[in-house]
Structure 1
Amino acid sequence: MDATGGIDGVLDVRDLRYFRAVAEERNITRAAERLGIAQPPLSRAIRQLERRLGVSLLDRSTRQVTPTAAGLVLLEEAVRVLDAVSAAAHRTRRAALAAPVVVVTAKPGVATDLLRRTARAYAAEPGAARVEILVSGYGEQGGLVRDGRADVALLGTGEDDHGLDLEPLTSEPRVAALPAGHPLADRSVLSCRDLAGLPFPHCPVLPPHADDYWSGRDVRDEAVAAPRPVVRDSSQLLEAVALGQAVALIPASLAERNRRDDIAYRPVRDAGPYTLAIAWTSGSRSPAIARFVRTAIEVASHERTSRAAGPPSHAAEPSSRVAGPVASDQG
């Protein structure tokens, strides 16, 4: 990096922030609004970046701008670098605190319930760090850990986990959520193939492979049905189902928490399970994070054992790959 903050005199952090916003928004105006700057200087900055790199980064032939092959590579690298820069700042500030802090995050519901129980068990340990719980939105958890705003997250199946180490904690079946009165609601058990051709909600913050998982297309070959309502959390998803705009495959616990007259829930025999895992930065050396992760595994294991004599438990056995800080307080 040169004295002006550029990398080999070509890139700087501002360049990467600007390009990431344009590439993700696919629209200069929306990207400028996201960045809080005017559109003309943003357009000039992107063109100057293309000239310095000697490549075309965006295809401007349609009403929206789309990344070229080179642009997709730069977007991937930009996300990684910007997350690393953000993480360095957040973790450096936390390291300067008088007492150590572990920031943990999850979305509302079963995940935050388990996180609170884990935090209580962890706090009871001698010398435990202070825990801050950050309740986050759908699909945000992985990014919060990667950019350093959180140290540990609970992630559900399908959420973006790149750059993170994971350990599964719980697993449960998924059920179909159908509008009340839907023809499939007359059947006691369904398969993913029964749902073929029906519209499923689309959540834009999740990676593409998650779309297949949440619509059951991971076990069947089928084109995407249209139109599809856009949802950003479970409340929106359930309302889309109740209004007859879509059907959905959801965790059984979500159905149990949201029994209502306008939605019918039915088992789906071949739908993959929903797994909740604890995630942390790959290669973490923090003893405090190691202890928190180990506590989460112990809490989940204890709850599985305590429920063994009652209704079927859906807690997952810890995997044989105990990575990162779980293996040792020093590693």
Structure 2
Amino acid sequence: MDTLETRELRYFLAVAEELHFGRAAERLGMAQPPLSRAIQQLERRLGVSLLERDRRGVSLTGAGEVLLHEGRAALDATTAAARRARRAGGADGPGGPRNRLVLAVKAAASHELLQKLLAAYAAEPDAATIEVLPSGMCEQEEMLRDGRADAAFMHAPFDSLAGFDSEALMSEGQIAVLPAGHPLAARETLTMADVSDLPGLPHARWPRHGTYAPGPGPEIHDQTQLAQLIALGRTMAVFPDSARAWLWAEHAAVPLTDAPPVTTHIAWPAHSRSLALAGLVRTATRL
């Protein structure tokens, strides 16, 4: 039997991620005995052992590792399909628009391009309603995969475009965003080496895949927090040049002469058949 039910996958993923039947059962809101029976039945149907059980606890077999990876992708795909179907059918709420697209964008990035795209697309016949969903660093990929977004502005080389269709829209240089009173703020240009290890002014750290890279800089949760910490002289950040749109008077932006260019792409799921999305992409590439 090669067919798996989404219920079975959810059960297995809970156990595989917790590596503890009790915690998995609690997470699923069910008793432990039926969960154990369901996993045993799944193993019998597949004809392989997914979990090793001994006095030390629970661990994954090679087959279990494969199902963990593939099962996550499969559940993400079913969740994404349900979300996009609801949006296409206007089932997001009473009176919701029947034709709606969600565009995920990095907060304050590519601001001018976004404004032009929204204005140009709104003038198209039969244009869908566009909901702009601001997100943190590196969140757009997850939003596309789990169906929270239909399309996203992605920025190479920082964001991965693997598994998506995409079109490049613009390239730009990068700037160092510093406190206005910092000695380097008066410089006309800087290099990456100039800002790599500034005493008392560490780089801000954004979460990537739910975790923060090690380092002395503050952990940043949103754009407002970052703006305030830069203004207070507690951190600095490197951004595409278009980030000038959100700078405060207490900030200074200095071009980085040797930073790699940043290319903004519009990306979407490779399997999409949405006519509204195709229209949005056509408008974006014309710009």
Specify the code of the residue in structure 1 equivalent to 2:145: R
Correspondence for 1:12:
9
Residue 104 to residue 259, structure 1, CA distance change in 2 (3 Å)? closer
Q: 2:51–2:64: 8 Å Cα contact kept in structure 1?
A: no
TM-score of the superposition, structure 2-length normalised? 0.70
Give CA-to-partner distance per residue, 1:251-283, whole Å, 9 cap, x none.
Answer: 22223531423x332221101223221111013
Correspondence for 2:169:
169
Moved more, 69-78 or 234-243: 69-78
Q: State how far apart, in whole Å, the 2-side matches of 1:242 and 1:75 are.
A: 44
Shift of 1:32: 9.9
SS of 1:155's equivalent? strand
2:80 pairs with 1:83? no
Q: 1:205–1:232: 8 Å Cα contact kept in structure 2?
A: no
Q: State how far apart, in whole Å, the 1-side matches of 2:99 and 2:87 are.
A: 7
SS of 2:249's equivalent? coil
Correspondence for 1:283:
271
Shift of 1:293: 0.2
Q: 1:178–1:241: 8 Å Cα contact kept in structure 2?
A: yes
Shift of 1:78: 4.1
Q: State how far apart, in whole Å, the 2-side matches of 1:124 and 1:150 are.
A: 22
Moved more, 72-81 or 245-254: 72-81
State how many pairs are aligned.
260
- Aligned pairs (5 A) from 1:79-158: 79-97=72-90, 99-111=98-110, 114-126=113-125, 128-138=126-136, 139-157=138-156, 158=158
Shift of 1:54: 3.1
Picking from 231, 245, 256, the partner of 2:234 is: 245
Specify the code of the residue in structure 2 equivalent to 1:190: L
Q: State how far apart, in whole Å, the 2-side matches of 1:112 and 1:15 are.
A: 42
Q: 1:101–1:129: 8 Å Cα contact kept in structure 2?
A: no
Unaligned runs of 5+ in 1: 61-66, 212-223, 301-331
Q: CA RMSD in A?
A: 4.2
Residue 251 to residue 69, structure 1, CA distance change in 2 (3 Å)? farther
Shift of 1:13: 2.4
Which is strand-richer, 1 or 2? 2
Picking from 230, 239, 244, the partner of 2:219 is: 230
Q: State how far apart, in whole Å, the 1-side matches of 2:190 and 2:63 are.
A: 44
Shift of 1:121: 2.5
Moved more, 166-175 or 153-162: 153-162
Q: 1:105–1:154: 8 Å Cα contact kept in structure 2?
A: yes
SS of 2:177's equivalent? strand
Q: State how far apart, in whole Å, the 2-side matches of 1:252 and 1:184 are.
A: 17
Q: 2:192–2:259: 8 Å Cα contact kept in structure 1?
A: yes
TM-score of the superposition, structure 1-length normalised? 0.62
2:262 pairs with 1:274? yes
